[in-house]
Amino acid sequence: MEDNIYKAPTADLEVESETLDFDKIMEDKSNHVLGKRWLATFIDFAILLSFLLIPDYLLGNELYNKTIAIWLSLIALYFPVLESVTGYSIGKYICRIRVIDRNGNKPSFIKSIIRTLLRLIEVNPFLAGGIPAGLVVLFSKKGQRIGDMLAGTYVTSVALVSRYDNANNFLEAPD
C-alpha cells in the first residue's frame, strides 16, 4: 500500500509569482495616480519651503545664514532618503501613494537620486510648475515621468502595492 501523503501543488504558485511584475501591471491606466501625484508634490514642496522659512524665522537671519548649508542639505536629501528608506515622501504618504521598482519594492538610494535629479527639471515650480512632468505621466504607457523611466520606478497607490505584496508574501511563506 502506497503512502498517500498530500503534497500541495506548486506549479500554479510559481506561475503566479512570475507574474508579479509591476512593469506589466502599470500598463493598466487605472493604476496611474496623476492627481494624487500632483497633490503629493504640492505638499512636499510646502514642506521643503518650510525648511527654509521656519529656521529663518526661529533663528533670525544672521544665524540662519550661518546654518544655510544644513537646511539646503535637508532639502537635497529629502526625497532620496525618504523614498529609498520608506518608499514614501511625506506628501506621498498623506496621499496614500508610493514609489516602487518593477518588483514592488521601495527604490534603492541610487534610483531615488536619479528620480530627484530629474525632478529638479521636470517638477521645478519655476520652470512651468510641473506641467512637463504631468504631461509625460499622462501620456506615458506606464504613468511614469522621465525620472521614473530612467530610474526604473513607478508611483502607484498603496492599495495596489499591498494587494500584490500580500499575494507575494503568501507565495513566499515558509513551509
In tens, the pLDDT along 1-11 reads 555 564 544 44
Domain with 132 in it: 23-168
Flag whether 151 is in a domain: yes
- Does the pLDDT of residue 173 top 80, yes or no? no
pLDDT at 19 exceeding the cut of 60: no
In a domain, 68, yes or no: yes
If one compares 129 and 6, the residue with the highest pLDDT of the two is: 129
Residues 98/156, Cβ–Cβ less than 8 Å: yes
Asked whether residue 6 is assigned to any structural domain, the reply reads no
Q: Exposure string (b/e) for 37-52, b if CB count within 10 Å is 16 or more? A: bbbbbebbeeebeebe
Number of domains the chain is built from: 1
Cell of 26: 502599470
Cell of 106: 521601495
What pLDDT, on the 0 to 100 scale, is given for residue 5? 60
Q: Can you tell me the mean pLDDT for 155-171? A: 73
Quote the pLDDT of residue 78.
97
Mean pLDDT, range 95-118, rounded to an integer? 95
pTM attached to this predicted model: 0.79
Per the domain annotation, does 35 fall within a domain? yes
| Cβ neighbours of 135 (radius 10 Å) | 14
Q: Whose CA is closest to 86, among 116, 109, 120?
A: 109
Going by C-alpha positions, the residue among 101, 100, 115 that lies closest to residue 150 is 115
Total count of residues recorded for the chain: 175
Using an 8 Å Cβ cutoff, are 91 and 41 in contact? yes
Asked if pLDDT for residue 175 goes beyond 60, the answer is: no
Show the 3-state SS of the chain: CCCCCCCCCCHHHHHHHHCCCHHHHCCCHHHCCHHHHHHHHHHHHHHHHHHHHHHHHHHCHHHHHHCHHHHHHHHHHHHHHHHHHHCCCHHHHHHCEEEEECCCCCCCHHHHHHHHHHHHHHCCCCCHHHHHHHHHHHHCCCCCCHHHHHHCEEEEEHHHHHHHHHHHHHHCCCC
What is the pLDDT averaged over residues 128-141?
A: 88
Task: Specify the pLDDT at position 123.
Answer: 86
3 within some domain: no
